[in-house]
Amino acid sequence: MSREGAEHALRARADERDRISGDLLDLESHTTYQLLKGASLRGATGRRWATAHESLATLWSLNDAYRAVLRDAEQLRAGRAKLSAEQLAELTGLLTGPAVLLRAATKPVEQRSLLPQADERLTLDQTVTRMDAAFRDVTSTLNDIDAVWNTVLPRLDDADAVLRRIRELERELGEAAGLAAQEADLKRMRADVVEDPLGAAVEQDLDRLTRLLAGAKTELELAIVVKGEYARRREDLVAALDRVRAAESEARLAHGSVVVKIALPPQAQPRTRTTALEAGLDALDASADPWVLRAKRLSALEDEVRKAAEQSQATAKALYGLVGRRDELRGRLGACQVMAVRKGLAEDPAAAELYERARLILWSAPCDLTKAAAAVETYQRAIHGGKR
């Protein structure tokens, strides 16, 4: 190596050493590295970190030997305006030859051999290559652990926050949601993720637990609202029950009015639900159930009352609609008779018989609408020559 080449190589190695030192300092200050140094690890993570720790020890050992060779090279060059041929050869050997001495590592007794362990000599380039491999092994382990912690720990924190909120709601409501098992599961998951992030498979359990806690929180919040609104909502229910009674009464009146005009099946008789709904409200008043359950029962009862009123109203409308249907059929029959006169079929015996049959059905009481519709349809086809 020429003097200029040696000077350039020495400066390049000094820059390389400073860069490597910076990377190692960054590794030492890495948050996950600091956490792992004092952590109690187990399982797959414990094994992986033990391997990474060995790589880290190798890395520092190589770095110490690497820096020692560079110190020797810098001392050889320092204070000399010009290197002699022997000094240049020595400097060249340090920079390019197998100048880095890597002592054989002392192994635990169970891993030793009675044969001597040979030291190893490496060039600076070989040393940097090995340091890079060890560095990558350590950072790969850190990245894998960090990925799990960054993903799962915030979700665990969120679940803990929801659980704390649930405890606050329980105190406000004066009732327990019974989540002791879920709280224990959450603690177990956190321990698994902290001590063995690479072996912990908690995502599915955490998904389930998160949904359960969110549901419990929602129920407690609703229960508190219902507890505060119960008196008002009960009054609203009583008023709604009055509307149900009125709607059922209207349905019964409609049935009484229509049944004498239209033939109705027995199941068309309106049925009352007021008694059962009132019993449901009385039971809710007397209930000692937790407010979470009472809130659900109150909402269900409100829905039942609303549907009962709507059903009775629909029943009355449908019953009155049957009379309208009869009147519509009467009108169609009259229009068909006019058409028969225009076509000269009014005196036709067959057509007249069909008309009379339909008229008798429509003007009988109670009227069978099914038979009436069929009779009008038959008469209509007759006067149209078999066509509608």
Domain ranges within the chain, ordered by starting residue: 3-107+117-150, 157-221, 226-322, 324-383
Q: How far apart are CA 358 and CA 353, in angstroms?
A: 9
Tokens 């006169």 — which residue? 341
Mean pLDDT calculated for residue range 242-246: 95
pLDDT at 336 over 70: yes
pLDDT at 388 over 60: no
Decide which of 24 and 5 is more confident: 24
Q: How far apart are CA 223 and CA 179, in angstroms?
A: 16
Tokens 């197998």 — which residue? 98
Residue 369 has a pLDDT of: 95
Q: How far apart are CA 35 and CA 194, in angstroms?
A: 10
Phi, psi of 367 (to 5 degrees): -90, 135
pTM over 0.75: no
Q: pLDDT digit string (tens) for 283-295?
A: 999 988 888 888 8
Residue 149 has a pLDDT of: 94
Residue 5 has a pLDDT of: 87
Q: pLDDT digit string (tens) for 92-135?
A: 899 999 999 888 766 666 666 776 677 789 999 999 999 999 99
Q: What mean pLDDT is reported for the chain?
A: 91
Q: pLDDT digit string (tens) for 146-176?
A: 999 999 999 999 999 999 999 999 999 998 8
Cα dihedral 304, 307, 313, 315, rounded to 10, equals -90
Give the type of residue at 150: N
Q: How far apart are CA 197 and CA 151, in angstroms?
A: 11
Please give the distance of CA 154 from its chain centroid, rounded to a whole number.
15
Is the CB of residue 322 less than 8 Å from the CB of residue 354? no
Q: pLDDT digit string (tens) for 250-275?
A: 999 999 999 999 999 998 899 999 99
Is the CB of residue 121 less than 8 Å from the CB of residue 98? yes
The pLDDT-based confidence of 387 (bands split at 50, 70, 90) is low
Exposed/middle/buried for residue 206 (C-beta within 10 Å: 0-12, 13-18, 19+)? buried
Q: pLDDT digit string (tens) for 197-209?
A: 999 889 999 999 9
Residue 326 has a pLDDT of: 95
The region, left, alpha or beta by phi > 0 then psi within -120 to 50, assigned to residue 362 is alpha
Residue 109 has a pLDDT of: 67
